[in-house]
Homo-oligomer: A and B are copies of this chain.
Amino acid sequence: MFLDALTPVQEIKLAHWTQTMRRSMLRQMIAVVSRPGILSFAGGLPAPELFPAADYAGATSHVLATDAKALQYGPPFQPLKAHIVKLMAQRGVTCTEEEVFLTTGAQQGLDVLTRLLLNPGDDIILEELVYTGVQQCVAPYQPQILPVSTDLALGIDVEQIAAYLAAGARPAFIYLVPDAHNPLGVSISRERRGQLVDLALRYNVPLIEDDPYGFLHYCDVMEAPMRSLNASHVFYLGSFSKILAPALRLGWMIAPAELVSKLTVAKEASDLESSALTQRAVAAYLDAGHLPAHIEKLRSEYGRRCAAMLNALEYFFPAEARWTKPTGGMFIWVELPGSIDTVDLLETAVTQEKVAFIPGSAFAVPGHQVTNCLRLNFSNTTVEQIEDGIQRLGVVIKQYVY
Q: Which residues of A contact B (CB under 8 A)?
A: 1-4, 7, 9-16, 18, 21-24, 27, 30-31, 43-46, 48-49, 51, 53-54, 56-57, 60-61, 64-65, 68-75, 104-105, 107-108, 111, 115-120, 133, 136-137, 139-140, 162, 170, 172, 194-195, 198-199, 201-202, 204, 206, 232-233, 241, 245-249, 256, 259, 261-262, 264-266, 268-278
> Is there an interface contact between B275 and A73, defined as CB atoms closer than 8 Å?
no
Can you identify 23 A-B contacts, CB atoms within 8 angstroms? A2-B198, A2-B202, A7-B201, A12-B204, A14-B116, A14-B117, A15-B115, A15-B117, A18-B262, A21-B262, A24-B265, A48-B69, A49-B68, A51-B72, A57-B60, A57-B61, A71-B248, A104-B271, A111-B270, A136-B269, A139-B269, A247-B277, A247-B278
Contacts of A13 in B (CB 8 A): 117, 170, 172, 204
Query: Is the CB–CB distance between B247 and A276 below 8 Å?
Result: yes
CA distance A201 to B10 in the complex (A): 7
In this complex, what residue of B is CB-closest to A274?
B249
- Contact indicator A133/B14 (Cβ below 8 Å): no
Chain B residue with the shortest CB-CB distance to A31: B75
Known A-B contacts A195-B1, A249-B104; the reply to A72 vs B56 at CB < 8 A is: no
Complex Cα spacing A245 to B73, Å: 8
**A68-B54 in contact (CB<8A):** no
Indicate if the CB atoms of A15 and B172 lie closer than 8 Å: yes
Chain B residues with Cβ below 8 Å from A30 are 73
**Cβ-defined contact, A70 with B53, below 8 A:** yes
Picked from B11, B107, B246, B262, the residue with its CB within 8 Å of the CB of A72 is B246
Chain B residues in 8 Å Cβ range of A105 = 271-272
Report A58 CB to chain B, min CB distance, Å: 9
Given contacts A60-B60, A275-B278, contact A133 B2 (CB under 8 A): no
Closest chain-B Cβ to A240's Cβ sits at a distance in Å of 11
Nearest Cβ in chain B — how far from A191, in angstroms? 8
Q: How far is it, in angstroms, between the C-alpha of A282 and the C-alpha of B199 when the chains are bound?
A: 48
- Excluding A111-B269, A136-B268, 14 further A-B contacts by CB distance (< 8 Å) are A2-B202, A15-B172, A16-B119, A23-B265, A48-B69, A57-B65, A71-B245, A72-B247, A73-B246, A107-B270, A111-B271, A136-B265, A247-B278, A270-B270
The closest CB in chain B to the CB of A165 belongs to B2
CB distance from A74 to the nearest CB of B (A): 8
Most buried by B among A2, A120, A241: A2
Q: Which residues of B contact A51 (CB under 8 A)?
A: 71-72
Min Cβ gap A264→B in Å is 7
Q: In the bound complex, what is the Cα–Cα distance between A199 and B1 (angstroms)? A: 9
